[in-house]
Chains A and B, each alone.
Chain A
């Protein structure tokens, strides 16, 4: 058996790949659900109902999807240039922390739209700076950015813990380690009344559209693709590889930082060290399921959010541990990798 590169990748194959991967993941995980003494069909039906069964459920799923769109997009733009940003989790937290630190009092004097812009830019700058460290370490010293971005996640989380227990500690939180709240006037308005869904979702989708246009219509987008496909050939063709990777790092880190900003200004309102249920890591799965395409990121985010919100509800009803969501996601990621292989290679005997 050997693999042969296909001359051209069909769009249909790329569209089918994520669905095939998800199907494989659901079939494989059915065995694990059956081990819990619950029929997999009942469990999956329960997950669908939990994620879409009521108005509240739908808004919860979309609330969960909002930051995922941005962390997924952060991973997608970086991976496209073969910049392995695994630090989305840390960048998310640093963005959230920055928005809270400034949003508690500093920017409250500004008119609300200006204050929002300031917080968004500050959070994006924080995320971008955090990714610039490993990006520059790779470009200057050849240090693999996978390990450094991963290690920076741990460092950042400890730093957030330090901040919420000291200078940003909320004295009204009865000893809970949580930060001071963002000024009430700065919280993002709800999209649907009496829900947690906020206009951050709209913002995330708009950002996706902008990134899509930039990637498909500008020189920078073409350079990103070239740098990812074959850096040596790209450099030979005159693509400034270093400058492109620095720009990609700034963009990717900023997107993950923005995810933290909308989560703080939207549903949460303050920072804790447990505020992210792995948004950064799930963003990697989102990016891969989307085949690194910005528009695919939106669909993949809603899918991943469905699995998580649905699994929580299903777990309460049936007793199947909610960690099944993490297993489904991981298997879907691995299956997607294999599916992508078959879109670019064919098997010859």
Chain B
């Protein structure tokens, strides 16, 4: 029992929490941006898979890591554009379109990977991101290792939370986006175009999702393999609800989630006799529990999943 507590005092656990949280932070932010504008994006699982593949492949073909991430973002935005076209101007079912995007983006990722990459016994690898200790701050005992000896995209994820929160809550563009998710007719009355706002929001959100996927292949691991996203996208969709559509709470949710994941990984190696599958189930069970806990209190954007057609109520 004390050993289970000893894990908590170990800085490597908390360091892992931030690392495991990074793809979730990007994913949950991306889903949040789409949903605050009124569009549910169930393409997330596929967009993360495509981002993971494209980011990895760019680096494998000679791009540097940051260029790889940028190309992944572009690929994600293209998928976002497709989802936006189907659900915003055409007003198709966001559920079915999103699932279609997930099937399409992941199938495309697997197809192109098989087409362009020779896979032997082991998948080929790239040189991934290395931890990037921040001068001086990383020297602080414990906290330095946990917070300031992370890989560069992890710092970027934290910055992204601040940036998204700032844009949403403090800028005219953010106000317009939130209003589009609450009452697109009012946006129209203000002389703005809710259709265009939704399309841009879904593209931006999808770019963030792809970045989360690319982190998996350029930082967490150094290769791409099918099914590697493992439902992280769906977990992000649950986390947005858990976070009541707020960026700050989304960060907290992703960290809490990553904490349980990091903790169960360490517990798994310590506790004998408990099947490993039970530990692996934990994140999914936890997501469902989180949804139940907040479902009653959640304040959903009013116009979420309501297609906007001019002059039609």
Chain B residues with Cβ below 8 Å from A299 are none
User: 1/0 per position for B273-313, CB-CB distance to A under 8 A?
Assistant: 00101101100110110011001100000000000011000
Residues B108 and A327 in contact, CB atoms below 8 Å apart: yes
Please report the C-alpha to C-alpha distance between residue A190 and residue B296 in the assembled complex, in whole angstroms: 52
Contact of A326 among B97, B103, B292 (CB under 8 A): B103
Report whether A2 and B296 are in contact in the complex, using a CB–CB cutoff of 8 Å.
no
Q: Which residue of A lies closest to B237 (CB)?
A: A147
B156: interface (CB < 8 Å): no
Chain A residues whose C-beta falls within 8 Å of the C-beta of B86 in the assembled complex: 334, 337-338
State which of A36, A141, A284 has its C-beta within 8 Å of the C-beta of B99: A284
Quick one: which of A166-187 are within 8 Å of B by CB? 166
B45 — nearest CB in chain A belongs to which residue? A150
Give the number of chain B interface residues (Cβ < 8 Å).
44
Contact B99 A324 (CB under 8 A): no
Q: Which residues from A are CB-within-8-Å of B284?
A: 151-152, 154-155
Question: Given that A137-B292, A285-B103 are contacting pairs, would A327 and B95 also be in contact in the complex, using a CB cutoff of 8 Å?
Answer: no
Q: How far is the CB of B121 from chain A (nearest CB, A)?
A: 18
Contact of A144 among B96, B103, B241 (CB under 8 A): B241
B residues 65-97 in Cβ contact with A at 8 Å: 82, 86, 90-93, 95-97
Interface size (A, Cβ < 8 Å)? 44
A321 touches B99 (CB 8 A): no
Is A331 at the interface (CB under 8 A from chain B)? yes
Closest Cβ of chain B: how far from A57's Cβ, in Å? 23
Which residue in A2, A137, A323 is a CB contact (below 8 Å) of B310? A2
| A35 contacts chain B at the CB level, 8 A cutoff | yes
The interface residues of chain B lying within 8 Å CB-to-CB of A165 are 275, 277
Question: Which residue in chain A gives the minimum CB-CB distance to B92?
Answer: A337
- Can you list 20 pairs linking A and B with CB atoms under 8 Å apart? A3-B91, A137-B291, A141-B296, A146-B42, A147-B234, A147-B287, A154-B230, A154-B284, A162-B277, A284-B99, A321-B111, A323-B107, A323-B110, A327-B107, A327-B108, A327-B111, A333-B99, A334-B101, A337-B96, A338-B90
Binding site for A on B (CB under 8 A): 42, 82, 86, 90-93, 95-97, 99-101, 103-104, 106-108, 110-111, 114-115, 230-231, 234-235, 237-238, 241, 275, 277-278, 280-281, 284-285, 287-288, 291-292, 295-296, 309-310
